[in-house]
Chain A
Amino acid sequence: MIRAEERLAAAIARLIRDPATPTPRHIAVGAASPVPAAACWLAALSGPQLRLSFLHRREGNPFTEGTRELFDLAGQGRIDLFFLGGGEIDGAANINLIGTGDWPGRAARFPGSFGSAFLYIMVPRTILFREEHSPRSLVARVAHISAPGVSAPGVFRRGTASALVTGRCLFRFDAGRARFTLASVHPGETAATVAAATGFAYDTPGEVALTPEPTQGELELLRGKVRARMVDTYPAFCARVWPQGESEGRAA
């Protein structure tokens, strides 16, 4: 059986290697991002060389100048791709990690903006990831903007979101129009079920593709070598997604 997390990781790995975008050489992965982390390992283990820097790796943390080093790297343009999520994401790719209700989140409080207000603007390509795909998480307009989807003319910006991956589908983002287009739906979903679960307006092509399932090779990598590399940083995630993975992980 293919787990939802495996499907999402494989979909994100394909985006990382998307031939329509410049090949990333250095990807950073933030805190609490096990699915993007799995996708990065999958891309790194199945394609050309790729440097991965994990902010919260417990052992072998790549940053020897403190946690500011990631932001200094991104400031210089030395990080090619980053992942962001949001308690709320809207149709213009604005993300809200603050909360809802009056500032700073009197109705519902999210954890906070982390480095998003900087990284979203300074990294050439961001993949947005939000597993919960509902009118509550994908909204017409975010209550508060932690980091803007697009910037005003004349404001320095190196890149924007290229895509949004959710538990139901994959959207592409057109920064020029500040608008998403439905690119593919995951197995079990249709254009109609996605529309019913989405709070923002977006474009739908006449024919909607199905998100490809992970290949057998990708599944073997995820359950073996990828799991082995993630278990130190994300023990709870690995135990949940790959409860039988212990022996494969050790063998890898």
Chain B
Amino acid sequence: MAQPTAGAHDGRPESGQHMALISLDELVASVPDGALIALPPDNSLVPCAFVHALIRAGRRRLRLLGVPVSGYATDLLIGAGCVAGVETSAVTLGEAGAAPRFTQAVTAATVAVRDSTCPAIHTMLQAAEKGVPFLPLRGLIGSDLLAHRPDWRVMDNPFATDGDPIVLLPALSPDFGVFHAEMADADGNVWVGRRRELATIAHASRRTLVTVERIVAASLLDDERLAPGTISGAYVDAVAVAARGAWPTGLLDAYPPDDAHLAEYARLARSDAGFRAYCERYVLPLRAEVAVA
């Protein structure tokens, strides 16, 4: 019989306790080499300033989980040599096209790719969120994904009388869930609006790190209109202020994605030299707005 193991959330601050408000560099320092980091897709509060800081800090052998797909941040980390493996449903730069460093790394076999499909990633995180060892998911049978995922199992639906094969997916608890939000309060409650997939990331991850545009004085949970879009500080381990921290991706209705910049990235990152030039111009210098924050 399976024995209970140490909970995924050991060491997490008790609800109501004040989370740590720290600097972006301290936030990055709390992430060791080799960590499994869950990241949202480009349209959902990507912590780009954090990712740039990870690259400056020279993190290595990171494993990235795209929830459920990956974009600019993942491509950039791969190009910068920070990544050993990626689990994702797709890597894309949207209208800017294919993700060049990811594509190059797959064909050169320099990064291990574990292909998934969007609802499977959600379901594995939801299993972790519920504290159950697995959850079933329809579909998938007949896809070659299944043959390349020894961690996914097929069993007959125990409630059916006529077989009915269904896929079981194991719970997945990332070491870190990281995202960028518009605001946090002093209790570490974080407002993400309708981007509720970030709540699933926060619920399932062992530690959740958040960068924000600003800290607000009033509790986000005291406002009936903000509370449904707020992730409780019970799940948030540390917050750092990083102004325009989602740039060059967008932040809800606060600022749109910088489409011209993403197109420039897509163009430069097609070659090794172009990617290096991009990093020297945009990633390695400390961003002024972050430095003063």
Take A99-B106, A109-B107 as given contacts and tell me if A32 and B139 are in contact as well, using a CB distance cutoff of 8 Å.
no
B13 at the interface (CB under 8 A from A): no
B7 at the interface (CB under 8 A from A): no
B165 at the interface (CB under 8 A from A): yes
B143 at the interface (CB under 8 A from A): yes
Q: Which residues of A contact B88 (CB under 8 A)?
A: 112
CA distance A64 to B229 in the complex (A): 9
Indicate if the CB atoms of A111 and B91 lie closer than 8 Å.
yes
**Least CB separation from B68: chain A residue:** A67
B173 at the interface (CB under 8 A from A): no
Take A113-B90, A235-B259 as given contacts and tell me if A156 and B164 are in contact as well, using a CB distance cutoff of 8 Å.
yes
**A53 to nearest B CB, angstroms?**
13
Indicate if the CB atoms of B143 and A68 lie closer than 8 Å.
no
Partner of A68, one of B92, B119, B166: B119
Partner of A144, one of B102, B120, B140, B144: B144
Take A32-B94, A97-B90, A118-B120 as given contacts and tell me if A106 and B165 are in contact as well, using a CB distance cutoff of 8 Å.
no
Indicate if the CB atoms of A118 and B107 lie closer than 8 Å.
no
Indicate if the CB atoms of B113 and A104 lie closer than 8 Å.
yes
Most A C-beta atoms less than 10 A away, residue of B91, B118, B141, B148: B118
**B244 to nearest A CB, angstroms?**
17
CA distance A93 to B227 in the complex (A): 45
Take A118-B137, A155-B142 as given contacts and tell me if A64 and B94 are in contact as well, using a CB distance cutoff of 8 Å.
no
Take A68-B126, A107-B107, A108-B107 as given contacts and tell me if A146 and B92 are in contact as well, using a CB distance cutoff of 8 Å.
no
CA distance A115 to B139 in the complex (A): 10
Q: Mark A14-56, 1 if CB is under 8 A from B, else 0.
A: 0000000000000000011000000000000000000000001
Most A C-beta atoms less than 10 A away, residue of B90, B138, B139, B256: B139
CA distance A103 to B114 in the complex (A): 10
Indicate if the CB atoms of A104 and B148 lie closer than 8 Å.
yes
CA distance A31 to B106 in the complex (A): 22
Indicate if the CB atoms of B259 and A117 lie closer than 8 Å.
no
**Least CB separation from A71: chain B residue:** B119
Q: Which residues of B contact A67 (CB under 8 A)?
A: 41, 44, 68, 118, 122, 197
A214 at the interface (CB under 8 A from B): no
**Least CB separation from B263: chain A residue:** A236
Q: Which of B244-268 contact A (CB under 8 A)?
A: 250, 253, 256-257, 259, 263
**A33 to nearest B CB, angstroms?**
11
A200 at the interface (CB under 8 A from B): no
Q: Which residues of B contact A32 (CB under 8 A)?
A: 92, 94-95
A165 at the interface (CB under 8 A from B): no
Seed contacts A111-B92, A113-B143; 8 additional CB < 8 Å A-B pairs:
A32-B92, A58-B257, A59-B253, A64-B196, A75-B119, A98-B144, A112-B89, A117-B143
Q: Which residues of A contact B140 (CB under 8 A)?
A: 117-118, 121
Indicate if the CB atoms of B141 and A118 lie closer than 8 Å.
no
Q: Which residues of A contact B107 (CB under 8 A)?
A: 101, 105-109
Indicate if the CB atoms of A234 and B91 lie closer than 8 Å.
no
Indicate if the CB atoms of B259 and A118 lie closer than 8 Å.
no
**Least CB separation from B199: chain A residue:** A66
Indicate if the CB atoms of B143 and A147 lie closer than 8 Å.
yes
Q: Which residues of A contact B143 (CB under 8 A)?
A: 113, 116-117, 145-148
B103 at the interface (CB under 8 A from A): yes
Partner of A118, one of B117, B194, B250: B117
Q: Which residues of B contact A121 (CB under 8 A)?
A: 138-142
Indicate if the CB atoms of B117 and A114 lie closer than 8 Å.
yes
Q: Which residues of B contact A64 (CB under 8 A)?
A: 194, 196
CA distance A151 to B195 in the complex (A): 34
Q: Which residues of B contact A69 (CB under 8 A)?
A: 196
Q: Which residues of B contact A103 (CB under 8 A)?
A: 144, 148
Q: Which residues of B contact A113 (CB under 8 A)?
A: 89-90, 115-117, 143, 145
A61 at the interface (CB under 8 A from B): yes
B43 at the interface (CB under 8 A from A): yes
Q: Which residues of A contact B44 (CB under 8 A)?
A: 67
CA distance A71 to B256 in the complex (A): 26
Partner of A58, one of B106, B144, B250: B250
Indicate if the CB atoms of A122 and B92 lie closer than 8 Å.
no
Take A98-B144, A106-B107, A117-B143 as given contacts and tell me if A112 and B164 are in contact as well, using a CB distance cutoff of 8 Å.
no
Partner of B109, one of A56, A106, A118, A119: A106
Q: List 19 contacting pairs A-B, 8 Å CB cutoff, sorted by A.
A: A31-B94, A58-B257, A103-B144, A106-B106, A111-B90, A111-B91, A113-B145, A114-B90, A114-B117, A117-B117, A117-B140, A118-B118, A118-B120, A146-B117, A151-B142, A152-B141, A152-B142, A155-B141, A155-B165
CA distance A156 to B156 in the complex (A): 11
Indicate if the CB atoms of A237 and B95 lie closer than 8 Å.
yes
Partner of B89, one of A105, A114, A154: A114
Q: Which residues of A contact B190 (CB under 8 A)?
A: none
Most B C-beta atoms less than 10 A away, residue of A103, A112, A120: A112
